[in-house]
DNA sequence: TTGAAAGCGCTAACAC
DNA sequence: GTGTTAGCGCTTTCAA
């Protein structure tokens, strides 16, 4: 920068008022007389004044920064929620004066990073996303009375008092299954994650619910595997051999890609011979031939709710609303 | 938070020294006598002291924040560089005491956001990524003497004096083409972007170079289209009809997915009948059947160079090194 | 409605 | 080596 930016004092001098009056013009314009306000605002505009963040942060004991820990990209999977979520969060929080600051998780210790940022008052609050890991952060943060909003329900502790926002995975799987039933399918298989995944079991319950509600049996039509393409491929091959399903609903697009792979090897056409629906509406689902139908999480809407919760948390007095559960949508393409 | 965190004064009192000595213990430990240092460090540890960021920022006139503008996710494409790059950047910059702060671009005005963050001294520097747009930011930032590092060469102004880091797209396309030539292909087609894309033309030149170096003709084997799956599909269909290529090198994985689509429709097996190589090594390339070979950008290494440049820029005195051009790698899968 | 005084927590400069 | 003084730019009393 050529020279240091103008300060409150510069504006005050130019407008012929005191520094406090300028501060009021910025933060409580209602307090000023009309003509004074105009004069100060003119001076602000002429000088291109903007309050110094560090000074304001020091004084108000707030950084207007939201901390978000990001994990390494999972190569070889179709997982790409974060990209969309992060962007939505940045947009939404920016609109109410907050910025998103990223920090890295080291995988080993999920708490790493949180503590330091809190103690150094670098961030005002956190958005915690990887609540599926068994969730030590949320408990720890809650114990520390640190403000945070979780993307993900407190599965293991329904009485948890922190604000959260989540997507109704069961409703998503149910929607996909009902759609297939409406198209005439009766033997609809489920390929999901291992039983220790709350999210996986939740999604699976939507499939079960839809099947049973329509008087259809789920026996031998489900399996639980690792979230990899090859697992999805093997699971679908086995199911095709042993249970002859006409459709698959999967807990992820990654698994669904495995199913498409198996169909391809067997000369079966997705959508025509066998229907396939994935989960998350990843870029992969969008560009793969012939198009993979998928349950799409409303991440934009979710970010709005997260920011709303954040505002409550950081308000005076702080306010914690009830958890918010959003309904996903079904993106239909040629596969289902 | 239950109570406000300890300050320098708290530590000083506990260690029986002055505040300045504690500050020195943190920032210039070499200045202290051994036993004093130990005493202060003990007090720091006992209290869990960490310097208050806002105060330090105010005093040192630095925020230790790097601004990164992110754009909306491009749905329907395979573009996913940012996710990997952002993570690498966060990790690398975190290691040297910087955090990455995100802000949103509004698409309309590419300068929006930059100015305010600069004037409010919210960030120390920027990392500018979307230099392909015609690049108004870099020129504007340079004119404003704002510290920034570009991911992307100053295509339109080779004399630009700002630090930049880029990936050698021509080398990537060349590598892919040479690989195909080594496998015996002679009629290798190029599907690239429209001519106004510097990056696209750069990558294309690698294909041309490899072909000519091996005495192969490029006539009628290239086309330039929009970066969409359907464009890639149509272009490859036309090329197959009119020029009978045995292999395709594409400027993006998105285009390559279009090629795979065409091959599928014609009953041609990728890799066996027709080879296909994409660009960027997206998740799509990794999970699609039967595996899409792709040129992979070394984003981790790139982030390291970006941070190195940033450190130079923010050092005393500031130092601007020459631009850095990194070589991509070739990820081979069944398609090529 | 406006201004004066104080201080957020820290570090740079200097005196001891 | 260590302590003292001053001040970064802002907002929050409180007085005028």
Q: What is the CATH number of the domain that holds B29?
A: 1.10.260
Q: For A58, which of B49, B54, B77 is closest by C-beta distance?
A: B54
Shared domain for B178 and B267, answered yes or no, is yes
Q: Residue B1: pLDDT band by 50, 70, 90 thresholds?
A: very low
Listing DSSP states for B154-190 in one string gives: -TT-TT--S-EEEE-HHHHHHHHHHHHHHTT---EEE
Give the per-residue pLDDT at B311.
Answer: 95
Which chain A residues are closer than 8 Å to B144 by Cβ? 1-2
Can you give the pLDDT at residue B133? 59
Give the nearest chain B residue to A102 (CA atoms): B100
Residue A74 lies in a domain: yes
Are B122 and B31 in the same domain?
Answer: no
Half-sphere CA count of B62, side-chain side, radius 13 A? 13
Identify the pLDDT of residue B190: 98
Rounded CA-CA distance B24/B5 in Å is 19
- DSSP H helices in chain A: 8-15, 19-27, 34-47, 53-60, 81-95, 114-119, 136-143, 169-182, 198-213, 229-243, 253-265, 283-287, 299-314
Interacting residues of B311 by C-beta distance below 8 A, sequence separation 6+? B96
Does residue A124 lie in a domain region?
A: yes
The predicted pLDDT at position B80 comes to 77
Give strand letter and number of the nucleotide nearest A6 (CA to C1'): D9
Q: Which of B70, B77, B120 sits opposite A283 (nearest CB)?
A: B77
**Å: B315 CA to D3 C1':** 30
- CB B217 under 7 Å to nucleic chain D: no
Spacing of B101 CA from C16 C1' in Å: 44
Strand D contacted by A18 CB (< 7 A): no
Q: What torsion, rounded to 10 degrees, do the Cα atoms B44, B46, B50, B56 define? A: -40
First CA to last CA across chain A, in angstroms? 56
Give the closest of A49, A90, A264 to B102, CB-based.
A90
Q: CB distance B289–A54 less than 8 Å?
A: no
Euclidean distance between CA atoms B100 and A324, whole angstroms: 29
Residues B157 and B67 in one domain: yes
Positions in chain A short of pLDDT 50: 1-2
At residue B262, the pLDDT reads 97
Do A160 and A188 fall within a single domain?
A: no
Looking at every residue in chain B, the average pLDDT score rounds to 93
The pLDDT of residue B2 is above 70: no
Chain A residues close to B90, C-beta within 8 Å: 70, 102-104
Which CATH number do you get for residue B79? 3.40.50.2300
Residue B1 lies in a domain: no
Please give the pLDDT value at position B212.
Answer: 98
Query: Do A101 and B99 count as a contact with CB atoms less than 8 A apart?
Result: yes
Q: What pLDDT, on a 0 to 100 scale, did the predictor assign at position A2?
A: 46
Residue A336 lies in a domain: no
Domains: count for chain A: 3
pLDDT of residue B156: 84
Q: Is B103 among the domain residues?
A: yes
Domain hosting B270: range is 169-297
> pLDDT tens-digit profile of A140-149?
999 988 999 9
Nearest CA in chain A to B82: A83
* Interface with B, mutate which of A11, A51, A54 (most B CBs under 10 A): A54
The strand pair at A293-296 and A275-279 is best described as parallel
Question: Would residue B333 count as lying in a domain?
Answer: no
Place of tokens 């309309």: B108
Whether B3 is covered by a domain: the verdict is no
Asked whether residue B183 falls in the same domain as residue B288, the answer is yes
* The pLDDT value given to residue A35: 87
For residue B177, pLDDT beyond 90: yes
Taking the C-alpha atoms of residue B113 and residue B103, their distance in angstroms, rounded to an integer, is 7
Instruction: Answer yes or no: is pLDDT of B59 > 80.
Output: yes
Which of B147, B283, B290, B292 to substitute to test the interface with A, most A CBs within 10 Å? B283
pLDDT for B132 equals: 67
Average pLDDT over residues B276-288: 96
Nucleotide nearest to A12 (CA to C1'): C3
Return the H-helix or E-strand segment holding B300: helix B299-314
Is B228 in the same domain as B134? no
Q: Are residues A70 and A160 in the same domain?
A: yes
- SS3 label, residue A138: helix
Tell me how far apart the alpha carbons of residues A148 and A145 are, in angstroms, rounded to a whole number: 9
C-alpha distance from A216 to closest chain B C-alpha (Å): 32
Residue range B158-183: average pLDDT? 96
Same domain, A153 and A122: yes
**Can you tell me which residue has its alpha carbon closest to the C1' of nucleotide C8?**
A59
CB distance B80–A82 less than 8 Å? no
Q: Which residue, among B98, B322, B45, has the nearest Cα to A122 in the 3D structure?
A: B98
| Nucleotide C13 C1' to residue B94 CA (A) | 31
B267: nearest CA partner in chain A: A267
Compute the nearest-CA separation of A249 from chain B (Å). 18
Give the burial class of A37: count Cβ atoms within 10 A of its Cβ; 0-12 exposed, 13-18 middle, 19 or more buried. Answer: middle
Assess whether A156 and A233 both reside in one domain: no
Q: What is the pLDDT of residues B89-137, one digit of tens each?
A: 999 999 999 999 999 977 677 777 899 999 999 999 999 997 765 678 8
Q: Which residues contact A73 (CB under 8 A, 6 or more apart)?
A: B80, B83, B84, B87, B283
pLDDT in tens, A258-290: 999 999 999 999 999 999 999 999 999 999 999
* Closest nucleotide to B18 by C1' from CA: D3
A230 touches strand D (CB under 7 A): no
**A66 belongs to a structural domain:** yes
Residues B164 and B305 in one domain: yes
CB distance A264–B289 less than 8 Å? yes
Tell me whether strands B329-331 and B293-296 are parallel, antiparallel or unpaired. antiparallel
Cβ–Cβ of B58/A54 closer than 8 Å? yes
Question: Which residues in 26-65 of chain A line strand D, with CB less than 7 A from it?
Answer: 26-27, 49, 51-52, 55-56, 58-60
- Best of A60, A75, A268, A287 to disrupt the B interface (most B CBs within 10 Å) is A287
Check whether residue B127 and residue B150 sit in a common domain: yes
Tell me: the pLDDT tens digits for B290-304? Answer: 999 999 999 999 999
Question: Does the CB of A58 have a partner CB in chain B at under 8 Å?
Answer: yes
> Same domain, yes or no, for A38 and A143?
no
């Amino acid at each position: 920068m050529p020279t240091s930016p103008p300060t409150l004092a510069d504006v005050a001098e130019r407008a012929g008022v005191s520094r406090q009056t300028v501060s009021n013009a910025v933060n409580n314009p209602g307090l000023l007389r009309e003509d004074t306000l105009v004069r100060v605002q003119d001076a602000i505009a002429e000088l291109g004044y903007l309050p110094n963040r560090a000074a304001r942060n020091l004084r108000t004991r707030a950084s207007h920064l939201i901390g978000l820990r990001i994990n390494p990209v999972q190569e070889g999977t179709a997982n790409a929620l974060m990209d969309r979520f992060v962007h939505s969060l940045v947009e939404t929080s920016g609109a109410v004066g907050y910025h998103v600051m990223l920090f890295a998780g080291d995988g080993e210790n999920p708490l790493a990073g949180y503590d330091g940022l809190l103690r150094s008052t670098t961030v005002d609050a956190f958005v915690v996303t990887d609540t599926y890991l068994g969730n030590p952060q949320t408990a720890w943060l809650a114990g520390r009375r640190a403000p945070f909003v979780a993307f993900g329900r407190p599965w293991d502790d329904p009485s948890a008092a922190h604000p959260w926002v989540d997507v109704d995975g069961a409703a998503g799987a149910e929607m996909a299954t009902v759609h297939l039933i409406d198209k005439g399918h009766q033997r609809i298989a489920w390929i999901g994650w291992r039983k220790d995944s709350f999210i996986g079991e939740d999604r699976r319950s939507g499939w079960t619910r839809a099947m049973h509600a329509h008087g259809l049996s789920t026996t031998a039509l489900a399996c639980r595997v690792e979230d990899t393409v090859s697992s999805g491929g093997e699971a679908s091959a086995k199911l095709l051999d042993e249970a002859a399903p006409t459709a698959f609903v999967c807990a992820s697009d990654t698994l669904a890609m495995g199913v498409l792979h198996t169909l391809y090897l067997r000369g079966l056409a997705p959508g025509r011979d066998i229907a396939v629906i994935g989960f998350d509406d990843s870029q992969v689902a969008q560009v793969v031939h012939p198009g993979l139908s998928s349950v799409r999480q409303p991440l934009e809407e979710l970010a709005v709710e997260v920011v709303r919760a954040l505002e409550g948390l950081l308000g005076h007095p702080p306010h914690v609303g009830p958890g918010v559960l959003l309904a996903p949508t079904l993106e239909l393409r040629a596969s289902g």
